[in-house]
Amino acid sequence: MLARLAASRLSGIRQIFRQPSRAFSTALNYHIDSPDNNPDLPWEFSDANKSKHENCDYFILCSMKVKEILSHYPSNYKQSAVIPLLDLAQQQHGGWLPVSAMNAVAKVVEVAPIRVYEVATFYSMFNRTKVGKYHLLVCGTTPCMIRGSRDIEGALLKHLGVKRNEVTKDGLFSVGEMECMGCCVNAPMITVADYSNGSEGYTYNYYEDVTPEKVVEIVEKLRKGEKPPYGTQNPQRIMSGPEGGNTTLLSEPKPPPCRDLDAC
C-alpha cells in the first residue's frame, strides 16, 4: 500500500516538472533527458570560438575566446572560469545550455561535470531550456512592480501569444522574469538578450522607462531586424536625470575647502 502511494506521489511530481510553464534556471535543479538535450549529443565550441594549439591537451579546447577567458586565471585555478565559459557556450547555443555543453565546459576547466551543473542551476542568467532568439526579461522587483511591470509583462505575453517562459512558434521571442536589474530610478524596465547572431553578435541591452505600448513597439522593431535604441525610452529624460532637466547641481561644484592636506 505504501509502495503504491509513494509511486503515485512520485508520478505526480514528475508530471508537475514536465509542465511547459515551468520556470527557468531559478526553479530547475534537475535534468530530464530529451531528444535535443542529453549527454550523448556531441557539443563543442564553434570554429569562431576555437583554434587548435600545439600545446593543447586532446581533451582541452584551446580557442581564441576560451583561451582568452582562461588567461585571466592562474593555471591551477582554471575552474574559476566556469561562469564566463558557460556564458560563452550559452551565447553560441542560441541562449540556452544543453547538458552536453556543460560537460564540454567541465572538460575545459578539468572538473567533474557536477561542479559545472551546480553553477548552471544556481544562477538565473543561465537558461537550461530553449529561449527565443530575443529573450525578453521583465524586471519583477518591487520598484518596477510598483511602476507597472506586471502590465509590461502582460502586454508582451498578449502580443506574442505565449505564456511566461514559452517560445513563440517562429522561435524568435520568449518572455521571462528577472530580479532587480539595478536601474530602479528608470523603472519599469526590460532586458533583451539578443542571441540571433550567436556569440559573434551577442548583445544584452536594457530598455528603461517602458510602457506597454513601448515594449510592443520594441518587439516589432526586433522582428524586422532593427536595433531599437536602448536606455531610457522617455524623451523627457537624459539617462537617469529627472524629466525636464536638472533642478539641482546647476553649476560647477565647488572644490573641497582643503585640497592640500599638508596645509590643513
- Helix/strand/coil for 158: helix
Q: Is residue 80 part of a domain?
A: yes
- Give the rounded percent of residues in the chain with a pLDDT score beyond 90: 47
| Three cell numbers written together for 27 | 526553479
Domain range for 198 is 134-232
Place of cell 548552471: 120
Please tell me the distance from the alpha carbon of residue 185 to that of residue 179, in angstroms, as a whole number: 15
Q: Is residue 113 part of a domain?
A: yes
| Total of domains in the chain | 2
Q: Model confidence at 16, in pLDDT bands (50, 70, 90)? A: very low
Q: What is the helix (H) or strand (E) element at residue 17, kind and residue range?
A: helix 2-17
What number is the average pLDDT over the span 86-93? Answer: 90
**Angle at CA of residue 170, ends 165 and 171, nearest 5°:** 45
| 163-217 residue pLDDT tens | 998 999 999 999 999 889 888 999 999 999 998 887 778 899 999 999 999 999 9
Continuous H helices in 53-165 = 64-70, 82-92, 99-109, 113-122, 142-146, 149-160
- Helix/strand/coil for 193: strand
- Amino acid at position 256, single letter: P
The domain boundary, picked from 122, 142, 169, lies at 122
Q: Model confidence at 128, in pLDDT bands (50, 70, 90)? A: confident
Please check whether residues 113 and 195 belong to one and the same domain: no
pLDDT value at residue 1: 64
Contact 95, 64 (CB under 8 A): no
What number is the average pLDDT over the span 96-109? Answer: 92
* Nearest one of 111, 46, 56, 52 to 78, comparing CA atoms: 111
- Give the rounded percent of residues in the chain with a pLDDT score beyond 70: 80
pLDDT value at residue 44: 84
Please tell me the distance from the alpha carbon of residue 223 to that of residue 171, in angstroms, as a whole number: 11
The domain boundary, picked from 92, 122, 152, lies at 122
Q: Is residue 178 part of a domain?
A: yes
| 17-45 residue pLDDT tens | 454 444 444 445 677 777 878 787 888 87
Q: Model confidence at 6, in pLDDT bands (50, 70, 90)? A: low
Q: Is residue 210 part of a domain?
A: yes
Please check whether residues 103 and 171 belong to one and the same domain: no
Contact 93, 101 (CB under 8 A): yes
Beta bridge partners of 175: 136
Q: Is residue 237 part of a domain?
A: no
- Domain holding 91: CATH number? 1.10.10
- Amino acid at position 88, single letter: L
177 vs 51, higher pLDDT: 177
Number of Cβ within a 10 Å radius of residue 54: 5
Lay out the sheet containing 134-139: strands in order across.
173-178, 134-139, 189-194, 203-208, 231-232
pLDDT value at residue 61: 45
14 vs 46, higher pLDDT: 46
Residue 18: alpha-carbon gap to chain centroid: 22
